[in-house]
Chains A and B, each alone.
Chain A
Amino acid sequence: MSVALKLENLSKTFEVGKRLFREPKARVHAVRPVTLDVEEGETLGIVGESGCGKSTLARLLVGLLPPSEGLIEINGAKLDNADPAEFGKKIQYVFQDPISSLNPRKTIRQVMEAPLRHLHKMDKAARDARISEIFASVNLREEFLERYPHEFSGGQAQRIGIARALAADARILILDEPVSALDVSVQAQVLNLLERLKGELGLTYLFISHDLAVVEAISTRVAVLYFGTLVELGAAEDIFRAPRHPYTKLLASSAPVVGRPLVNPEGKATDLPDPLNPPPGCAFAARCPKATEICRKAPPKLEAVEGGTQKAACYHPLSEGEQIFG
């Protein structure tokens, strides 16, 4: 298998309180350098809680935000200018909020035509044929094309969003919380559709979500982000069953699961570190029962864990089955 998408030391820093002619008041490292390969045809799940940088990472990957450092390679070709039109043909984005990602004053046909016209310079006949083809593959009726976005339910609008992403004919799709605005009964419809399309069209997915169970159900591999840092990377079937990073362990034991008694894994109230004043070492150290002196000094590197398939950024990775919470 070849590498579809390669990130090398990709990072994003936001400047807070910009001032003319002077240094900004502070810098927030929304995404700390991430190095990651996405194999062709796989679904890489990215999980993390709010403020972990997962949406910023997604916007970097489609060129909506210029990276502060690092580079993105798609099928071996470097993409270093943040030009969405350049990215658009290779990598597309499916948005979280299906309704607000559609212009309320455009018909669905107009929405669908934009990528065909601007990215592929197709003529009218070719566009119509292509739209019919895509609509058939996402199970949407063609009569929808003349309607406006407010006439659709969330699930239908999300299918339209997926159809638009497909129209650009990109091989890689970034799915940014594509089902979190949907009800569970509709969520499953969309997830199954995504799965089918991937097989049929040979797509590669980056699936971003805060919902561990959804990510586990759809992904081949999963990356866990905490406070802008990639803390663990491993196969979907292993990562929550046998987490190696204490934060992954905490996530896995916090998720409400039928048949498991209610516990507060941490036993106390905790918070994320202050982004304006981040700790020098591992960002999770303050919440981690295994933290030692070294954890508070320098951030650990993402490395393969002994005796496992996962990689973890931790000085004291857990052994399989080790219990530290609850």
Chain B
Amino acid sequence: MSFFKLLIRNRLAFAGLIVMGLVLALVIATPILPLYEPNVTDTANRFLKPFEGGHILGTDHLGRDLLSRLLWGTQLSLAVGISAAVFAAFFGAAIGIVAGYFGGTTDNVIMRGVDMLMAFPYILLALAIVAALGPGLVNALIAVAAVNIPFFARNIRGVTVGIAHKEFVDAARLAGESHLKIILTEIVPNVIPVIVIAMSTTIGWMILETAGLSFLGLGSQPPQADLGSMLGEARSALITNPHTSVVPGVMILIIVMAINLLGDGVRDALDPRLRSGALTRPRPATLVEREGPVPAPVESGTLVLTDLQTQFRVGERVYKAVSHVSLHVAPGECLGVIGESGSGKSVTALSIMGLVASPPGVIVGGSAIYDGTELIGAPYSKLRSYRGDKVAYIFQDPLATLHPLYTVGDQLCEAIRVHHSVSKAEAWTRAVELLKQVRIPNAEGRAKVYPHEMSGGMRQRVGIAMALANDPDVIIADEPTTALDVTVQAQILALLNDLRRERGLSIIFITHDFGVVAQLCDRVAVMYAGRIVETGPTQEVLDDAAHPYTRRLIACVPELGEGRRELHAIPGLPPAVDRLPAGCAFAPRCDKAQTLCQVGVIELEGGASRKVRCLYPETDIAGMAKPVAQVPELKKGAGA
């Protein structure tokens, strides 16, 4: 159902659908329409122009009515093109699924055969088949279907391989399903959308190909005519009587165009990646659409965020990923931002330099001040000149974040040369120097290798070197060790810590790991559902968390050295940020929640160093307005 809605909402596809509907209606009605006989010749009335002698579209070189021939020809062309597509899709998909699912030798043998067929420019094979079977429409159909089977087979095989390696196929095998059963119930349902997409985007092409063979005189034979052979016959009279060529040619164009529009619509409606809008190009900088005035900063520091708000707009939905986040970091200080997935910690980090993908991301308010300059809404050129030079980033997965086709040295050189006009040789020397600073052994040699030739830990060192390239004041590290093994993580954290002390760097460190925060960060901000719920010096927060969420989250995390034990769980799930409840977002999961917790806006309150967003904090915080009477806890340690 949603498929047809999506299809119809796509205006172009809808137009294609209407045109195709009209053509099909005409073609189906052809036998009952009051038309001249398509194959009756009348040489006296040859080459009549349109509307002459009662022939709406005129007549051809044998005096046959063009309108009648056009409609009958369209019928034939559509039937042949669509059958060819169905045949090719069916056999191609069957071959592709078998090869992709079984893999190994089966796959090898089948795909070698397919490669062999694809080694021909397709028309050669079609010509050879027609040569062997003899000219004729059915033979042309066979030829077109046959040459397209390898395309389908290869395409579907690729998709099948991807699906066959999915965990749910392993699960089906462990559930005792047979190969046939797995293919029919696990693989095929997941491949069908791809087959439909491949078919809908190639039917137009098949119609063109069969028309082409007929045009060459190898398809439909006189007196029967499809659109291609009509065009072929009209060619000799092209200059004297162009209308005989234009009529079938335009018809082919209309049909194929309508089918292509429709096919694209089908593809867009079926492809989940396109549906979620994933294939949109992110702008060079996040879109800023302020909904209010620029807030004045309250804190001071190298980088000060005030009331930052970032949203994702997907269709009608608005995801409030970051709501009124204020952070600041002093020179030489490391600020930890901790939260679970979806808490908005990474979006906060990326918003600062406008790196949130947009669409769908939009910054709707707030301020980020670096060195007296407002970054939110700053012109692109200003933002660009600061990126990497004053404020640099280290990202999570070092394999995905480095360009796969440039050497590590080249990528470091570029980081330097986009901000400083130095020669390539100078930049290279500096790049090697940087690699040495992040303790990469054999830095000269390693500068010449590509990222895929390095281990994860080495790649992340390169990521750090790149961030250091221009001696920035602030480094924003977005889960830099999450993808790494624990022994490598220890190396990288120690390196970051050394570098920050040596250079007086300010670091904003995004993580979900309390252990990491405890070891590296001076202060910590805890995020939940897009808001900061608690902030303060790391040691104080860890020792005596004020927000129930912080306290319970710390209790959830098993720590090494405590032995075998029952873990404390938080019941329920974090809320979806497109449907945030009023009041405290944690209230539905909180055992201390009162009715007051679920109304209005609860502010982040407290003194200069510690703040908490809670009416009934677990511990007293200096500078907070006394809450509405302390209420005893209702229930304790609710399990899963």
Contact = CB atoms under 8 A, between A and B. Distances in A.
Contacts of A1: none
Nearest to B491: A264
Contacts of A167: 175
Given A139-B640, A183-B512, A264-B490, A240 B168 contact: no
A96 B566 CA distance: 22
A298 interface: no
Scoring A103, A195, A265 by chain B CB atoms within 10 A of each residue's CB, the highest score goes to A103
A105 B560 contact: no
A254 B640 contact: no
Given A258-B518, A269-B441, A184 B553 contact: yes
A214 B495 CA distance: 26
B495 A264 contact: yes
Interface in A204-219: 210, 212-214, 216-219
A185 B338 CA distance: 13
Interface stretch (A72-80, A87-95, A299-307, A315-323): A87-95
Contacts of B489: 254, 256
B439 A268 contact: yes
Interface string A63-90: 1100000000000000000001101110
Contact of B170 (A93, A104, A105, A185): A93
Given A210-B486, A240-B561, A260 B566 contact: no
A102 B168 contact: yes
A185 B570 contact: yes
Interface string B193-205: 0000000000000
B461 interface: yes
Given A100-B168, A193-B640, A64 B493 contact: no
Interface stretch (B130-138, B182-190, B243-251): B182-190
A118 B490 contact: no
Contact of B573 (A153, A219, A268): A153
Contact of B515 (A103, A240, A258): A258
B570 A114 contact: no
A102 B167 CA distance: 7
Interface in A238-268: 240-241, 250-266, 268
B580 to A, nearest CB: 16
A260 B561 CA distance: 12
B112 to A, nearest CB: 10
B445 interface: no
B564 A95 contact: no
Given A255-B515, A256-B516, A269-B491, A95 B167 contact: yes
A254 B168 contact: no
A147 interface: no
Nearest to B557: A184
B487 A49 contact: yes
Given A255-B515, A256-B519, A262-B520, A188 B176 contact: no
B571 interface: yes
A185 B569 contact: yes
B441 A254 contact: no
Contact of A217 (B189, B491, B518, B565): B565
B522 interface: no
A253 B439 CA distance: 21
A240 B560 contact: yes
Contact of B486 (A187, A251, A262): A251
A299 B341 CA distance: 42
A262 B559 contact: no
Interface string B152-179: 0000000000000011101111111110
Nearest to A235: B564
Interface string B230-256: 000000000000000000000000000
B186 A103 contact: yes
B449 interface: no
A274 to B, nearest CB: 10
B14 interface: no
Interface string B455-492: 11110010000000000000000000000011111110
Nearest to A264: B494
B558 interface: yes
A220 B485 contact: no
A251 B166 contact: no
B557 A164 contact: no
A270 B489 CA distance: 11
A188 B556 contact: yes
B439 A87 contact: no
Which residue among B173, B175, B487, B488 has the maximum number of chain A CB atoms within 10 Å of its CB? B175
A236 interface: yes
Contacts of B461: 269
Contact of A189 (B189, B340, B569): B569
Contacts of A185: 340, 552-553, 556, 569-570, 574
Max count, chain A CB within 10 A of own CB: residue among B493, B515, B553: B515
A268 to B, nearest CB: 7
A259 B515 CA distance: 8
A168 B518 contact: no
Given A118-B177, A183-B341, A220-B564, 10 more contacts: A49-B485, A84-B170, A95-B171, A101-B167, A101-B168, A139-B640, A183-B512, A188-B568, A189-B571, A213-B559
28 contacts: A64-B170, A85-B176, A100-B167, A102-B168, A105-B189, A114-B175, A118-B176, A183-B574, A188-B570, A212-B486, A216-B562, A217-B567, A218-B564, A240-B561, A251-B486, A255-B515, A256-B513, A256-B516, A257-B519, A257-B559, A258-B514, A262-B494, A262-B520, A264-B493, A266-B491, A269-B440, A269-B461, A271-B457
Interface of A: 49-50, 59, 62-64, 84-85, 87-89, 92-93, 95-97, 100-106, 111, 114-115, 118-119, 139, 153, 155, 161, 164, 167-168, 183-193, 195, 210, 212-214, 216-220, 236-237, 240-241, 250-266, 268-272
